[in-house]
Amino acid sequence: MSTLSTGTLHSTDQLPGETEVLIVGGGPAGALLGCLLARRGVDVVVVEKQADLEREFRGESLAAPSVVTLGKLGFGPALREHGFLETSGISMRMEGRTVFHIDYRRFPLGALPIDIPQPALIGIFHAAAANFPNHAYVPGTAFSSLIEEGGEVRGAVLKRKDGSRAHVRARLVVGADGRFSKVRKAAGLAADVQPMERDFLSFKLPRPANWGDAAELVAVADKHVLVVPTFPDFLRIGHNLPKRGLGDLRAQGFEAFRDGIAAIDPRLGPLLRAHLTSWDDTSFLEIFTAQVPRWSRNGLVLVGDASHTVTPILGQGVNLAIQDVVCATPVIVRALSETKGSVPAARFTAFEEERRQHKTLVTKHQRMQERALSKTGAVALAARRARYQLLNSLPNKYRMLDKVINAQHTIDPIDLRAANQQAATVA
C-alpha cells in the first residue's frame, strides 16, 4: 500500500501572463477540473494558496457515485495503488436502540463509498494532470483581485510566495476556493449564508482491529457523535455542540468533554482516555449553508463549496464538488471553442440550474436530519425513534434512498476517451 505525498506533486513557481482557464483553488474541485480540462487540450493554470498539502482535511469520504465516476475517468488504478477503506453501510442508534440501518451493498450501483485522505486524492488528480504540457499547478499562490474590463472578468491578480504580485489574464476564471471564497466576494456574487443551529467538533482515534467498516450515528437526545471508519486505521469522530458553544464547552474542561463523548457512546471511552489528550487534538467547524443565486459572470464561474456550501451531514461537500466538475467540463470546453474573448455567463445557465437542483435536494435532507437530531423531551424522542424505525422497515427503503444517496450524472464521452487514452499511455 503506497501513499502519495506532496513530494510527488508536479508543480511550478512559474506563472504565465496568459492562459485559457485560471482555476483559483487546488482542492478536489480545482485539481480535478484542471486535469479534465488539460485532457481536452485546454491551457489551464491551477493556483493554490497553500504551499503543500500537509494540513488537516475533513472531507475524506467519497460516495459510491463519485467512486464510479472517478473509475470511469481513469483514476481507479491510482486510487487502488494508494489504498482506501470501503464503507459497507451506516447505522443509527438513538438512546441505546438501533433504529435504522443501510447496507450499501444492497444498492444497484455496484460500488461502495470509500474513505481516502483528501491530500492523496488531490495528489492523484495533480499527478494525472502533470502528463499534459498545457497544465500548470502553482502552489503557494494566493488570489488577490480580479482583472475586469468593460464589466467582464479578464483574469486575476495573484500574490506569490515571495510577496510579489502577478497578473494572469484568462478567458475564464474559475472560483474553486471553498466555502469562504474570495473569488466569489471579489466578483460581487452574494451568498445567502444560513447558519445551522449547531456547530461541529471533530477528531480521530485509532480504530480497534475488530471495529468493522460501517459508519454509525449515535444519538442521545440532542447530542450525537458520528463515528466513521477512516483509512488506514482510524475512526473519525464528529460531535455536535450548540452554536457559539465552543467557549462554554472549553470552560467546562477537557476531561468533561471526553466524559460527555463517552456518555453518548461508551465504546469510545477507553480510546478517548488513551489517545485524546488536549483540545489541540480536535478541529472546530462552523456549520452553515450558503445559497448563491448567481454562480457566474462573463469570464467567471464558481464550482464546489464556493457556489453551494453544504453541511458535513451525509458528507456531501466533496461529492457535490466532483459532480460540479464533471458537469462543467464539457460546458467550458464547448464555450472556449465556440466563442471569442471572455466566456459568456449565459453559457453556464443550464449547468447552474441542474447543479442547483441537486444541491437543493441535498440541503433539504440535511436540514431534515439536523432537525431530527436536535430533538429533546421524552415524547419528541420517542416519535423520532418511531419515524426512523418505520423508515427502516419500509420494503422500498433502498429504492427510495437510492435516489437521494446515489444520484449520478452522465460523463461526457470525450472525457472517457481521453481517460482511456491516458491509461493506455501510462500502461
Q: What pLDDT score does 58 carry?
A: 57
pLDDT in the model for residue 366: 74
The verdict on residue 318 lying in a domain is yes
Percent of the chain with pLDDT over 70: 93
Question: What is the average pLDDT value for the chain, to the nearest integer?
Answer: 90
Where residue 367 falls among pLDDT bands split at 50, 70, 90? confident
Nearest to 225, CA basis, from 104, 319, 312, 320: 312
High-pLDDT (> 90) share of the chain, %:
70
280 inside domain: yes
> What is the residue type of 25?
G
Report whether pLDDT(316) > 80.
no
User: Which residues fall within 8 angstroms of residue 320, CB to CB, at 6 or more apart?
Assistant: 304, 308, 310, 355, 358, 359, 362
Per the domain annotation, does 136 fall within a domain? yes
User: pLDDT: is 16 or 53 the higher one?
Assistant: 16
pLDDT tens readout for residues 249-284: 999 999 999 999 999 999 999 999 999 999 999 999
pLDDT given for residue 57 in this prediction:
55
* pLDDT at residue 2, rounded to an integer: 36
Given a cut of 50, is residue 122 above it in pLDDT? yes
Q: Using the predicted structure, report yes or no on whether residue 7 has a pLDDT greater than 60.
A: no
Q: For 101-115, 361-375, 377-391, which range has the lowest pLDDT when averaged over its residues? A: 361-375
Residue that terminates a domain, selected from 285, 305, 331: 285
Q: What is the pLDDT of residue 4?
A: 40
Residue bearing the bigger pLDDT, 200 or 155: 155
Distance CA 130, CA 50 (A): 19
Q: Which of 9-23, 49-63, 196-210, 385-399 has the lowest mean pLDDT?
A: 49-63
pLDDT-derived band at 232 (thresholds 50, 70, 90) equals very high
Residues 202, 170 share a domain: no
* Any domain includes 332: yes
Does the residue 18 lie in any domain? yes
Q: How far is CA 160 from CA 139, 169, 311, 395, in A?
A: 9, 16, 32, 58
Q: Please check whether residue 240 lies inside any domain of the structure.
A: yes
Residue range of the domain that includes 340: 6-56+118-194+289-374+412-426
C-alpha cell at 363: 440541503
The confidence score (pLDDT) of residue 56 equals 58
User: Is residue 396 in a domain?
Assistant: no
- The domain total for the chain is 2
Domain identity same for 241 and 148:
no
Confidence of residue 423 (pLDDT cuts 50, 70, 90): low
Is pLDDT above 50 for 294?
Answer: yes
Residue-level pLDDT at 171: 98
Same domain? 179 vs 202: no
In this structure, the answer to whether residues 232 and 305 fall within a common structural domain is: no
pLDDT digits (tens, 9 = 90+) for 24-34: 999 999 999 99
Asked if pLDDT for residue 8 goes beyond 60, the answer is: no
Lowest mean pLDDT among 61-65, 72-76, 237-241, 414-418: 414-418
CATH number, residue 334: 3.50.50.60
User: Are 258 and 323 in the same domain?
Assistant: no
Same domain, yes or no: 321 and 358: yes
β pairing state of 165-175 and 18-24: parallel
The predicted-structure confidence for 133-167, as pLDDT tens digits, reads as follows: 999 999 999 999 999 999 999 999 999 988 899 99
Look up the pTM and report it: 0.91
- Is residue 282 a contact partner of residue 238, using CB atoms and an 8 Å limit? no
Residues contacting residue 277 through CB under 8 Å, at least 6 positions apart: none
Q: Where does the pLDDT of residue 198 fall: very low under 50, low under 70, confident under 90, or very high at 90 and above?
A: confident
DSSP letter for 208, please: P
Q: What is the mean pLDDT of residues 288-296?
A: 86
Domain membership of residue 100 (yes or no) is no
